[in-house]
Amino acid sequence: MSIPANPLQWSIGLVGYGEVGRILAEDLRARGVANILACDIKLGGPDDAPLRAHATQYGVRLTASHAELAAGADLVISAVTASQAVPVAVSSASTLRPGAWFLDFNSASPGAKIKAAALVDAAGGRYVEGAVMTSIPPYRIRVPLLLGGASAAELAPLLKELGFAAKVASEKLGVASATKMCRSVMIKGLEAMVIESFTAARAYGVEDAVVASLYETFPGIDWEKQGAYFFQRVIEHGRRRSEEVREVAETVREIGLVPWSAQGTAERQAWVADLADAGLFGKKGSPGFARSADWRTEADRILAARVEDKA
């Protein structure tokens, strides 16, 4: 079966139907894409009800496996946790249609992207790496997206027709991912540092002085607002983010440097995720979960838990 020339007529498969997958499904449907498939590890488990409700609402067909999804898709978009980037390529490659596109949205190291590309291309698919350069929810499908690989220039205008804000970074695999990963050393690291600094300052009763000093040193940043945002993002998405930063660490390791900063960031993000899983910040999915406009509320919860950091 040939791939339609008009991308709006494509069958698009979303591997990963979490926050990112559901946003893409909504926006692709709004653009007029009629046939959308999705697969997620949570399907068939105790937490699959919201996914099924969303799929019903937006006319998304859920599949039982990555292989089933790939067999029915002209474009596969892989948006899973970083550690699953290569396994998804493995499970999808065997059933990919000849010439089908495989867009790898995952926050994985250049080395992982190169491995995934080899699997997809060997199966007759066309692999393109995609590096999402900032948080998706505010931008939705228009999030800045860097593309890489030999087929990136061919896919870029087709993605734009679907509503993506895609730009080719390089025909060489790994360049787009390296750009994202090196940026994440800073962005994810800053999240971890703010949580550690602000929580410790709160414990010592010096938080106002610390925040005032940061305003003086970096006047262009609203530290109160940014602090609250960082706490919320890590509490809600710390598990996924910690996995991403482990890939960041691997990116640094691949060029022969010891990733001390990235490793520490991954541990702090995972530590907060453990607290969230234990219910410290309320029930996940509830309206009040990690929604305080004041970061002090969440810092106080951490301090009240008297959790000893043995990292």
The whole-number pLDDT of residue 311 equals 47
Alpha carbons 187 and 198: distance in angstroms, whole number: 16
Q: What is the pLDDT of residues 33-79, one digit of tens each?
A: 999 999 999 998 988 899 999 999 999 999 999 999 999 999 999 99
Q: What is the pLDDT of residues 11-28, one digit of tens each?
A: 999 999 999 999 999 999
Alpha carbons 114 and 218: distance in angstroms, whole number: 38
Query: Three-state secondary structure along the chain?
Result: CCCCCCHHHCEEEEECCCHHHHHHHHHHHHHCCCEEEEECCCCCCCCCHHHHHHHHHHCCEECCCHHHHHHCCCEEEECCCHHHHHHHHHHHHCCCCCCCEEEECCCCCHHHHHHHHHHHHHCCCEEEEEEECCCHHHHHHHCEEEEECCCHHHHHHHHHHHCCEEEEEECCCCHHHHHHHHHHHHHHHHHHHHHHHHHHHHHHCCHHHHHHHHHHHCCCCCHHHHHHHHHHHHHHHHHHHHHHHHHHHHHHHHCCCCCHHHHHHHHHHHHHHHHHHCCCCCCCCCCCCCCCCCHHHHHHHHHHHCCCCCC
For the chain, residues with pLDDT lower than 50 are 310-311
The whole-number pLDDT of residue 98 equals 93
The whole-number pLDDT of residue 1 equals 63
Residues, the chain, total?
311
Torsion-angle region of 306 (φ positive above 0: left; ψ -120 to 50: alpha; else: beta): left
Q: In whole angstroms, what separates CA 101 from the centre of its chain?
A: 20
Domains present along the chain, CATH in parentheses: 7-172 (3.40.50.720), 177-305 (1.10.1040.10)
Q: What is the pLDDT of residues 86-98, one digit of tens each?
A: 999 999 999 999 9
The whole-number pLDDT of residue 308 equals 54
Find residue 78's DSSP bridge partners.
15, 104
